[in-house]
Structure 1
């Protein structure tokens, strides 16, 4: 074996040429840090229980009785520094039943503090206390009003805590946002990654990680196909039903994967490496242009218009599929923002009525808001324990309220309607901001659940307050409170240090999970980091945002999964790259970020010029459109333009759920579709600088460009007319951080269905329509 840091140079230099030139070479002696090695074997099963393991010990031929097997290694160096491997295994002679190909990467010098990542499901090995055996388990008593309670997750695949036995996890490739696994070893500063294709001819690949009893050796395993004993559900497990294939003479399987070894600057560096390589095996995806963003916005706002109601509690736009009202997270005071942006007198008055209702009925004595009120006007509690009767509320919902209430105030002023702002709205925002500041000064964190009446933190130790610094930053600027901005900065620095640098994930924002790693805090914290950059101009926040964007990317499908041929998504030809995994408990992807346009990714792209961030955002928007209910593209049992929250590549909900929509609708997915259409430009261009990026469902062809302008032909191949927003500027202007109402200034270009429009765009943002000849 080759030890520790010497492995990379020895592997890539001394031994590489011979390996790369051989058509049937054996694997390299070392494939990574920590005294590592690569072993290949065949495993024979009864059901999912291993009956016999047959290692390839002496070269590439294995003889087992009358069966003769051969490996064919095709290996070459990749341009990105990886080893690109196509491992073929053929049965030359004989007949075998229930046999799978296994590739083991074995790491010695292993430590339990190594950061283990399987994107979209396992973060830091999920090595935390676990509770329950199902969806949304009740918290134990010791988690309440106890700042020393450990971070606690649902019953998810995980490596064991110290002192526990049987440290292993087993997954299928479709449990991941990008099929692969990795680790970062802080003791040596080394990162290791293996990325693979979703499946071989035998079906989806398997991913397993297991440690020995002493935790000083760890094996990362790929199997073709997946052979799990249990499949992971929503906080529980069920029998996998995996089956190993039978082989006849001449049968062959080819397993393709890439191996990377890199030096990283901590966990943030590891995440940034992952973002760079996450599509390297599955390849670049090609999103479809299905529905222009303007059409999605029109359909979504029409649905929301029809859902305004009056109940005994008050007047509001109905959330989800209920007449009860939920604040923040998936509905209230978020779905009002695009309605306000319509600049329509009726909807503006309705938004005002909802805001009046919220601030008069739902704010507690402490300044914090309750998260739920029934249509009869009864306030509800969240995550309560029988021994603690106080009504509780999600910190995440309160963070949403502060952030979105400030955005409403900014938008009204930008529209010239500042005079209709009710002073009680501003007072409510100030009281909420002050409550967060009080909590921060008392505890040095915001907690996960609070008691709105007293302001007490009911449950500590999560990232549920990840979006709070964004709200505080907006409020600090609006109300001229630099002390609030200082708290926002301290809080954002704390969450970055504890959650990103030390844990490698953010957690606990969703109301139906424990303190599991989740995508919603990841994107929420991204909002906070870009807000801090906006209001301080300090480059440190931009650097942190780059790492945070990489964490967001780890939750986002990097490729278009292959779905079962008879499934709804397969029949529609769905391309779901960009679906956002919900959490390590709720093992499904969703069409969009809950609940946001994710325009902070655009702001980061604009500030850095790095197309990785634009590509990530474009994928998210297009995956959302794939899930929208349209004529000939049915995804819900509701109106045209509606959508739902499930994109399911995995068998977490059973094999029958893979690739099939749940025929309902979710208002939050409709809301984030409208928000993306509003807050993300259809086309971003810097005339004279060669930068052009298209987010909308049109094609843009550059016809001519000079120092101050660019001529484009926009083509719309969809069945719907498009009004494409165009954001044009120069590099100097892009150095100024973008505000929260800039979308109002973007002119729109009409492009008819099946037609084209020719325009000349100046760096000043002016657009000249040209005859298309």
Structure 2
């Protein structure tokens, strides 16, 4: 990265200006000012007065019937990037100011409409895409919008305009995985990140971006309290009347903003993501984790729940949920189905394993549609559906990622059965291979996988997405399992298309089936899995770089800190630590326990290939903090039965003004995610080369190298349950960590509240080849 020649601050009459001059670029300027706004609450927070103040004024400034002292302290930091930390203080020294907010404005004077704007987990490329306002669960219905080659269409979410319309978006700090705004000026090849604290004396901070008519300048604002003008966002509707309550300030009140601005060279969009990965925890620094329940207890609890509530004995399959509707009865992938059977087969008892085998016998061959793909959904054990039957025109719309998920996890289960001595029936193999062939045919015909395909014909109905992001991984594994080279060839072609069309542009979208083509974490992680799997099987360095790029993009969906909930909320009382939660998508604005629906194992593989500790830490944050969301006799969750794991970690009010930190008592896919964690993520990972041990499980570990052939681990179990911990001793990172690695893991048991030291032999290799 090029070095900057000069960073200096100039104090001018109305604001503070920070000019950044690069070696080869034109200067970019951010002018920092103070702003006071008053609102008419009865008119949905219509702005009635706006006052801008200078941070250079020494005397108190009069605002309405009040006087204010404003100060801004700028501190250049010793940092790898050109970084300045700011602390702005607003003090009401006399009088009062009703129905108001105070704020910081960052006026960017060399703005361009082509700037890539990123607000982690909320805004990607400014969300400047065609949009429709369709109620949940939205599906395109206008014939002009439906087709394989239509542009990306998202729902009515906070966004900047892609046309001449008013371009203004409003968010609150909790709406992002990290409270931050970043942008990249492609023409000048410069990038900027603004990171702020999540909250101050007035709670969450408002974060907004407004462009001028010509999109040649923009204002990024931080406000306290959060007051969204006229409108706020609720699910699928960015035009819900604002319910925010302005503050009534009086003499003695003070408000403080602490934020940092980072400037860096950015030859391409990926630099924006890579830089974010290095700084995401630098401003909001509460990253404390909790030890609540061990992985072994988590799995045992969910296994019992799955066998009691989800298994349908008269037909022999594991339902997705409580069967309250067809989507909670059977879906082949995305939220359960043949994903859930994998960890149940991996770790379940003999009864569970027999029920998984029944599930395979039930699925094949009836579970495959005329197109050659799996049926999308079903109910009552005998009814199969091609798509969403709630709308006539979508009854045969198959979400392509569902068949991708199924192929990926079914082949893993075939491999696992063979390791466990279970016969893999020929008609199971042939049925799954038929789906692999359907993917090849789909790619050869359309040169994309689309988002929805027709369950009868196999043709793309809705294109333009990365919904099938897991398919390259699935076909790569299929190439090995079926000894079919064409699968690997097609896998690489699909993955190249995804990289050039989406990853290089900093977007992944259309993974879930309930959010139009919203940018999402699910397909973002699936690309990490696919690129990593391709590198694992081809050793082509292109895929290793692609996997790292995708992982840094995925990191923007992962919560980097612990949100401060109001003391009255359920999550505050439960002492929930939000770090490691994974935001769903830009429409469904909640974080969740784990990845939908995966373990995150590709991040461990990436760490082994690169020795970059960022990937290991990212996986730790995700995996370690999932058990706290499991209702259990030792971890009571209000109104929620034991074993039911909600997907909702609400840090913003997208479901209503009282929805932040509430408990939605549902049984969801998050249960499968927790089971996958126990199946694929070691409770303790020992890196012999780095002489360290990482406890992904809810235990504490100390590492000691005893001699060339032995290590000592001292393990403390602070949880209220006995823990059986899978320990993966990695003595050879040159070998691939392929599927089923934890079958070779050492199992150690530590009693509740106990500490025990173990001596473990270092094997020559602990991984599959």
**TM-score normalised per structure 1:** 0.92
Q: For residue 480 of structure 1, what is the aligned residue in structure 2?
A: 483
- Show structure 1 runs of 5+ residues with no match: 768-773
Which of 39, 61, 64 aligns to 1:63? It is 61
Question: CA, structure 1 residues 704+485, in 2 after alignment: closer, same or farther (shift >3 Å)?
Answer: closer
- Other-structure match for 1:742: 741
Evaluate the alpha carbon distance shift between residue 572 and residue 122 of structure 1 in structure 2; reply closer, same or farther with a 3 A threshold. Answer: same
CA contact (8 A) 2:321 2:667 kept: yes
Match of 1:260 among 255, 259, 262: 262
- Matched position secondary structure for 2:585: coil
- For residue 404 of structure 1, the aligned residue among 405, 409, 427 is 409
Structure 1 residues 99 and 330: alpha-carbon distance in aligned structure 2, compared to 1, 3 A threshold:
same
Q: Which moved more, 1:405-414 or 1:604-613?
A: 604-613
Separation of aligned partners in 2, 1:412 and 1:531: 21
* Structure 1 residue 25 displacement after superposition: 13
Relative distance call for 1:167 and 1:321 in structure 2 (3 A) is: same
1:413 and 2:418 are equivalent in the alignment: yes
CA distance in 1, matches of 2:721, 2:473: 36
Aligned counterpart, 2:659: 657
Aligned residue number for residue 185 of structure 1: 185
Residue in 2 that maps onto 1:702: 703
Which SS does the other structure have where 1:98 is aligned? Answer: strand
Change (3 A) 1:687 1:10: closer
Aligned 1:435-514 pairs, distance under 5 A? 435-502=438-505, 504-514=506-516
> Residue 110 of structure 1: CA displacement?
2.2
Alpha-carbon contact 2:388-2:394 (below 8 Å) kept: no
Q: Aligned in 2, Cα 1:548/1:593: closer, same or farther, shift over 3 Å? A: same
What are structure 2's unaligned runs of at least 5 residues?
Answer: 22-26
Aligned to 2:246: 244
- Seen in structure 2, the aligned counterparts of structure 1 residues 116 and 389 have a Cα distance that, compared at 3 Å, is closer
Which deviates further from its counterpart, 540-549 or 194-203?
Answer: 540-549
Q: CA 1:8–1:391 in 2, change beyond 3 Å: closer, same or farther? A: same
- Rounded Cα–Cα distance in structure 2 between residues aligned with 1:387 and 1:330: 23
Aligned length: 747
What does residue 90 of structure 2 align with?
Answer: 89
1:423 is aligned to: 426
Q: Give the TM-score taking structure 2 as reference length.
A: 0.92
Partner of 1:721: 722
Is 1:43 the counterpart of 2:37 in the alignment?
A: yes
Q: Distance in 1 between matches of 2:748 and 2:492?
A: 39
The answer for the alignment partner of 2:24 in structure 1 is none
Measure the CA separation in 2 of the matches of 1:342 and 1:56.
63
Q: Residues of 2 paired with 1:581 and 1:242: CA distance?
A: 23
Structure 2 CA distance for partners of 1:340 and 1:311, relative to 1, 3 Å? closer
| Counterpart secondary structure, 2:637 | coil
Match of 1:371 among 365, 373, 376: 376
Give me the CA root mean square deviation.
2.5
**1:385 Cα offset (Å):** 9.7
Q: Distance in 1 between matches of 2:543 and 2:126?
A: 27
Contact 2:33–2:105, Cα closer than 8 Å, also in 1: yes
Using the TM superposition, name which of 88-97 and 61-70 deviates more: 61-70
In structure 2, the residue matched to 1:298 is 300
* CA displacement at 1:251 relative to structure 2: 2.1
Deviations for 1:621-663, whole angstroms, at most 9, x for unmatched residues?
2332121102253226454233111111111111221101112
1:355 is aligned, of 352, 360, 370, to: 360
Question: 1 CA distance for matches of 2:561 and 2:448?
Answer: 36
SS, match of residue 408 in structure 2: helix
The CA distance in 1 between the partners of 2:133 and 2:764, in whole Å, is 55
Alpha-carbon separation, structure 1, partners of 2:605 and 2:57: 52
Question: Is the partner of 1:266 in helix, strand or coil?
Answer: coil
Which residue of structure 2 lines up, in the alignment, with residue 770 of structure 1?
none
Q: Partners in 2 of 1:319 and 1:394 — Cα distance?
A: 16
CA distance in 1, matches of 2:109, 2:72: 24
Number of the residue aligned with 1:30 = 19
- Please list the CA deviations of residues 136-166 of structure 1 after superposition, one character each: whole Å capped at 9, or x if unmatched: 223133367622311111111111122x311
* Cα offset, 1:216, TM superposition: 1.5
Q: Is the 8 A contact 1:271 1:550 kept in 2?
A: yes
For 1:131-170, list aligned pairs within 5 A. 131-142=132-143, 146-162=147-163, 164-170=164-170
Aligned to 1:759: 758
Encode CA deviations 1:516-540: one digit per residue, 9 max, x unaligned: 0111111111111111111112222
Q: Secondary structure at the match of 2:334?
A: coil
**Is the contact made by 2:35 and 2:102 (CA closer than 8 Å) also made in structure 1?**
yes
Instruction: Sort the Cα spacing of 1:447 and 1:389 in 2 relative to 1 into closer, same or farther, 3 A.
Output: closer
